[in-house]
């Protein structure tokens, strides 16, 4: 963490991704704004082909590809890197791996995730399909703390949108993603202010 103008704290962030990385991109974009209270210092992916890695590379942000299935050694490598970069908050953004329990313990209250539904409804995958199948009137996006249970930690920020009769899983996906891109930076700032 460094201090600017004696009163604005800038916190270091790590973002974990597995694929497209559109949320990573919006998080980085927001960090470049004058008023932002964070900077992305580290991007970690379990997938070397994750498109999102290009956003980190373009901005010269340190990025690591880690095969999470391999061993405890690799998790140690992540912890070392998180310490080295003085990371205050870990943001999961489309990260498809389950982290080990001891990692959650170590970073208790310091890992957050984004999920494309109104949690506690529709945890897990294929959220938009299920929303349409169940003829929900609303859906949305949730940013929450991560604990060892899937999509179950304390909610930080949640916003909803209307599901119209003509909506399909694809149209809903687009609308929710747009909302995600606005909400994740907002939620990050909210968490950091309270650290």
Per rule CB under 6 A, count of chain residues that contact ligand GRF: 14
Token code pair at residue 5: 């103008």
Candidate residues 11, 15, 16, 21; the one interacting with ligand GRF per rule CB under 6 A = 21
Contact segment (CB under 6 A) with ligand GRF among 16-24, 36-44, 78-86, 132-140 equals 16-24
41 binds ligand GRF (CB under 6 A): no
Determine the residue with CB nearest ligand GRF.
Answer: 94
Burial profile 109-143: b = 16 or more Cβ within 10 angstroms, e = fewer: ebbbbbbbbbbebbeeeebbebbbeeebeebbbbb
128 binds ligand GRF (CB under 6 A): no
Nearest distance from C-beta of residue 189 to ligand GRF, angstroms? 18
20 binds ligand GRF (CB under 6 A): yes
Nearest distance from C-beta of residue 82 to ligand GRF, angstroms? 20
| Nearer of residues 79 and 132 to ligand GRF, judged by Cβ | 132
| Nearer of residues 9 and 158 to ligand GRF, judged by Cβ | 158
- Touching ligand GRF, residues 150-179 (CB under 6 A): 177
The answer to whether the CB of 82 falls within 8 A of the CB of 5 is: no
30 binds ligand GRF (CB under 6 A): no
From the candidates 30, 115, 128, 144, which is the catalytic residue? 115
115: annotated active-site residue: yes
The answer to whether the CB of 133 falls within 8 A of the CB of 124 is: no
- Touching ligand GRF, residues 77-116 (CB under 6 A): 93-94, 114-116
Footprint of ligand GRF on this chain (CB under 6 A)?
A: 17, 19-23, 52, 93-94, 114-116, 177, 180
- Catalytic residues, by residue number, are 115
């Amino acid at each position: 963490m460094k201090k600017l103008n004696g009163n604005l704290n800038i916190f270091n962030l790590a973002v974990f991704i597995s694929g497209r990385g559109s949320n990573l991109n919006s998080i980085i974009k927001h960090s470049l704004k004058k008023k932002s209270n964070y900077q992305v210092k580290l991007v970690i992916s379990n997938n070397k082909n994750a498109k999102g890695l290009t956003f980190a590379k373009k901005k010269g942000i340190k990025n690591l590809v880690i095969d999470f299935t391999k061993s405890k050694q690799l998790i140690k490598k992540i912890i070392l890197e998180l310490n080295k970069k003085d990371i205050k908050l870990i943001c999961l953004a489309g990260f498809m791996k389950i982290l080990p329990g001891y990692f959650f313990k170590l970073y208790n209250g310091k890992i957050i995730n984004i999920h494309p539904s109104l949690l506690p409804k529709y945890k897990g995958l294929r959220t938009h399909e299920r929303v349409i199948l169940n003829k929900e009137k609303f859906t949305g996006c949730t940013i929450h703390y991560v604990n060892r249970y899937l999509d179950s930690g304390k909610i930080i920020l949640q916003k909803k949108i209307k599901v119209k009769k003509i909506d399909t899983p694809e149209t809903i996906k687009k609308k929710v993603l747009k909302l995600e891109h606005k909400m994740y930076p907002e939620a990050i700032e909210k968490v950091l202010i309270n650290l």
